[in-house]
Amino acid sequence: EADIYQTPRYLVIGTGKKITLECSQTMGHDKMYWYQQDPGMELHLIHYSYGVNSTEKGDLSSESTVSRIRTEHFPLTLESARPSHTSQYLCASSEREGEGSANEKLFFGSGTQLSVL
């Protein structure tokens, strides 16, 4: 099935700490995305990338940053974690046709559940 991996699966951290959520895919997909999801709520796009050295902010304002130095790797960083950052973070990738193309599939990782105390 999907070859997209996120680490860690769970993270509990204190306020003010710097954290990096890892996401890697082995499918060679150009497009990668970060979504934030709270319980019972819809997914919100916070960052996306169309390829190496390309990053854009999504619909939901986020204090996080991303980088895309290699095709397979799309890490998300929070410089100073706060309790309001507590959420599930989902990484996804898709093929070149684009996020909304009918013939394009979006593959999700298993997510990182972040809790900031």
Question: Residues in the site for another protein, rule: CB under 8 A?
Answer: 1-2, 4, 9, 40-45, 90-92, 98-102, 105-111, 113
Residues 13, 97: Cα–Cα separation, whole Å: 38
Give the tokens for residue 43.
């997914």
Tokens 């999504």, residue located: 58
CB of 16 to another protein, least distance (A): 27
CB of 110 to another protein, least distance (A): 5
CA 39 to the chain's CA centroid = 17
CB of 76 to another protein, least distance (A): 15
The residue (of 4 and 81) whose beta carbon lies closer to another protein is: 4
Give the tokens for residue 49.
């990338």
The residue (of 92 and 116) whose beta carbon lies closer to another protein is: 92
CB of 58 to another protein, least distance (A): 10
The residue (of 84 and 103) whose beta carbon lies closer to another protein is: 103
- Confirm if 39 and 62 have CB atoms less than 8 A apart: no
Q: Which amino acid is at 90?
A: L
The residue (of 18 and 41) whose beta carbon lies closer to another protein is: 41
CA 18 to the chain's CA centroid = 16
